[in-house]
Amino acid sequence: MSLNWNEIDLIIEELELPGAFVQKVRQPNFHSLLLDIYKPAAGRFPLLIELSPQNCRFHRLSHGIPFKKTAKLQRFAQLLRSRIQGGRITECLQLDGDRIIRITVQKAEVLTGLYIRLWSNAANIIAVDADEHILDAFYRRPNRHEVSGEQFTHEQPRKPVRAFPVRASFFEQEEPTVSFNEFIELLYETETTDRLASRLKEEAQSVLESEVTTLGHTISIKKRELLTLESYEQKKHYGDLLSAYRHLITPHAHWVTLEDYADDGHPVTIELDEKKSPSENIEHYYQSYHKAKGACERLIEEIDHAEAQLSQVLKEQQLLQHSTVSVEKQISHAQAIIARGRHRHQVQKQERHVAVGLQFISGQYTILVGRTAKENDELLRHWTRGNDYWMHTRDYPGGYVFIKYIPGKSVPLETLLDAGNLALYYSKGRNSGKADLYYTQVKYLRRAKEGKLGTVLPTNEKNLAIELDQSRIDALFTGVPHA
């Protein structure tokens, strides 16, 4: 709610600005101006002129600056520094009850007038010389002739001045303990904080809704993939049948029909690769079984973690909607969610072409994990650079873990522990619960000649002993920082 003319008069009356000095002109953002005032009797205080439509106001500040500096000193503030900084205020009054304040400042022998218009739809500060020629305006508006060189003309109110009362809540205090200036300051500060909390919560809810949609889609896709792989036991059974009846397999045959001993001897027809020998066909079915089994196990883990992450996000939604904590904590919670969403968006934008392995966020760092020899090799060849870090278990086969390098920064211990836990988790040493790892930068890796796919020989490596921390693993999958 904007200040009415009666309230502006009360503010001006309390300020008693004539005789005070303008010690400094400051501009914290693109819609505010601060005048540092010194009065011999009252000391120093900042005088706020706020021009944003929702918070348009003019009053003394007693509780510090309510916002951070977000703008460099603009041309209008620079003009005022040259014209009024160090000058003495000779006049401060409101014109015609029309929410336009005139402040006159004398510096040396030069007079400068400031017209402060507190209209929500057309607020402005206009500086004029002694002849009422416009020196400059906070907002230049040519259509209103509010530009340098024009003659300033005060627009007379079109309607009779209404007797707006000073808001009653000020007088409802049994014993007013604050001035009207301070009352208005606290009132706007509360309203601004509430609006900020409402806006941030709405933005945070949007982030959470996006996460719910993404996680739901991910879970749905992985469950469909799982359905296509759940028949992997049949591949093993076919391998067992072919091994048991190897003597019945005709070379270069495309099909073979055998009695299924697990199904009361009923015949079963098994497809063969006519280019492979009987032994190679048997081995093919066993390899397909192991590959499908491993894929199923990984999918089940990923579905479980995605569902845990979805549950966490849904809890955050409930907490954001029905929070009973203070407004300040609501703002902090919403800001954390928004920052998380922006960080994920940035990482997705940077790594959107990575089609292999897994990605995790650890603080400011991105961690990439290869789960198979093919993924290890693909990440190593196409998605890492020399300064990225590589990590692997010493005594167990497993996936490669890469920490993406951030220029000018050293990888913190928490990120190393996150990466180490992932390296152990995606290795054959997971069940042991602990392992020794080594890590080095990618530029110190050398490919093993004639070695298996993705095999590398590290140099300049460092050692790290890890005990599996399931809470840390869960935090990486859910995106909630580890406690």
| 287 contact partners, CB below 8 Å, separation of at least 6 | none
Reading phi first (left if > 0) and then psi (alpha if -120 to 50, else beta), residue 408 is in left
Asked if 21 contacts 38 with a C-beta cutoff of 8 angstroms, the reply is yes
Residues 443-470: tens digit of each pLDDT? 999 887 777 887 888 999 999 999 999 8
335 C-beta neighbours (distance < 10 Å), count? 14
Task: Identify whether residues 339 and 395 lie together within a single domain.
Answer: no
- In this predicted structure, the answer to whether residue 364 has a pLDDT above a threshold of 80 is yes
334 plus 422 within the same structural domain: no
pLDDT digits (tens, 9 = 90+) for 279-312: 999 999 888 888 888 888 888 888 998 899 899 9
Do 329 and 364 sit in the same domain of this protein? no
pLDDT of 8: 92
* 444 and 430 housed in the same domain: yes
Where does residue 386 rank: exposed (0-12), middle (13-18), buried (19+ CB within 10 A)?
exposed
My answer on whether 482 and 344 are in the same domain is: no
**Confidence class for position 481, pLDDT limits 50, 70, 90:** low
pTM reported for the whole predicted model: 0.48
Torsion of CA 453, 458, 463, 465, to 10 degrees: 0
- Within this chain, do residues 216 and 288 fall inside the same structural domain, yes or no? yes
CA distance 320 to 336: 12
| 282 and 271 together in one domain | yes
186 located within any domain: no
Tell me if 324 is assigned to some domain. yes
> Do residues 46 and 169 touch, judged by C-beta distance below 8 A?
no
The packing angle between helices 470-478 and 413-425, to 10°, is: 100
CA-angle at 156, arms to 150 and 161, nearest 5°: 150
Distance of alpha carbon 240 from alpha carbon 82, whole angstroms: 93
Distance, in Å, from the CA atom of 210 to the CA atom of 217, rounded to the nearest integer, reads: 11
| Domain shared by 232 and 347, yes or no | yes
- DSSP classification of residue 427: B
One domain for residues 28 and 77: yes
* 411 pLDDT more than 70: yes
Does residue 55 fall inside a structural domain?
Answer: yes
List the structure tokens of 34.
Answer: 């601060």
pLDDT tens digits, 178-233:
788 888 888 877 776 777 778 888 888 888 998 899 899 989 988 888 887 777 88
Q: On the CB side of 480, how many CA atoms lie within 13 Å of its CA?
A: 18
Q: Measured on CA atoms in the order 328, 333, 336, 341, is the torsion positive or negative? A: negative
Q: Is residue 25 part of a domain?
A: yes
Report which of 374, 423, 371, 414 is spatially closest to residue 394, judged by C-alpha positions.
Answer: 423
CATH of the domain at 144: 2.30.310.10
- Residue 480 — very low, low, confident or very high, per pLDDT cuts 50/70/90? low
State how far the Cα of 115 lies from the Cα of 128, in Å rounded to an integer. 8
Q: For residue 65, what are the domain limits?
A: 5-166
- pLDDT value for 479: 67
pLDDT at 157: 55
Tell me: do 157 and 20 sit in the same domain. Answer: yes
Based on the structure, what is the number of domains in the chain? 3
Q: Which residues of 188-215 are buried (b: 16+ CB within 10 A; e: fewer)?
A: beeebeeeebeebbeebbebbeebbebb
Length of the chain: 483
Most confident of 80-94, 149-163, 193-207, 263-277: 80-94
pLDDT at position 152, please?
92
